[in-house]
Structure 1
């Protein structure tokens, strides 16, 4: 099951990378005319922070709080670099896990849920902005 969760996580990582790579940078600060919505950049901040935070949690074996290194959600290059570095941080933490405890297994599932939720929100947001999505995006 862990291998399947990891496969799905990596697919979500790639999907979000594809979305960002094809997105007009001017849309990073766009809002929809609905309540309680985030900009594309704000979604990316949360995604990067979750990847970094779950990587840390995997390293220590339990949730250790949320932090995010992404300081600017407005710059396409910064966001793209942070997506890549947060994915690398996750893979590094994964490679150093000595013992797979139930807590670590649960952390993987929570990260998959988080990635999938934000991917769906971004898809809806971008459709609301009348944007097309890459063919590689599974849910689009």
Structure 2
């Protein structure tokens, strides 16, 4: 199950790459003419899920959603929170044997992160935003 840890960290890194790649003005963009939140609000959900799933992984069960991100239009803050949550999850995964981790929660975290990748791809296409190289390699976008 080490591959699961690797895939989670890969997904976190891809998300970080995406938000580091876009400029701050993109954070307020959404998909027009359909129900949509913004790139910044997507970051709120991603960061909150990372924090909430890490808490759940430590407890061994889901304990509710919470997010420490207070500004969805501040790229520096978003990038910092993405880096912090990535590092915290990576440290947790390095310090814990896969057999001691609730794999369903870890898979849920991976699914959530990757589901946002799909949303970010749609957002980027709708707003004519180019992708970072890591996304071109991973998703052929």
The more displaced of 10-19 and 39-48 is 10-19
**Segments of 4+ in structure 1 off by > 2 A?**
91-101
Deviation of the 1:92 alpha carbon: 3.1
8 Å CA contact 2:9–2:90 kept in 1: the answer is: no
Match of 1:12 in 2: 11
**Equivalences, count:** 138
Deviation of the 1:98 alpha carbon: 6.2
Match of 2:34 in 1: 35
For 1:105 and 1:96, the matched residues in 2 are separated by 15
For 1:34 and 1:8, the matched residues in 2 are separated by 34
Match of 1:84 in 2: 83
More helix by share: 2
Q: For 1:125, which of 104, 108, 123 is the aligned residue?
A: 123
- Summarize deviations over 1:19-54 as a string: whole Å, max 9, x none: 111101101011221322121001111110111111
Deviation of the 1:105 alpha carbon: 0.5
8 Å CA contact 2:28–2:39 kept in 1: the answer is: yes
Q: Which structure 1 segments of 5+ residues have no match?
A: none
Deviation of the 1:113 alpha carbon: 0.4
**Alpha-carbon RMSD:** 1.6
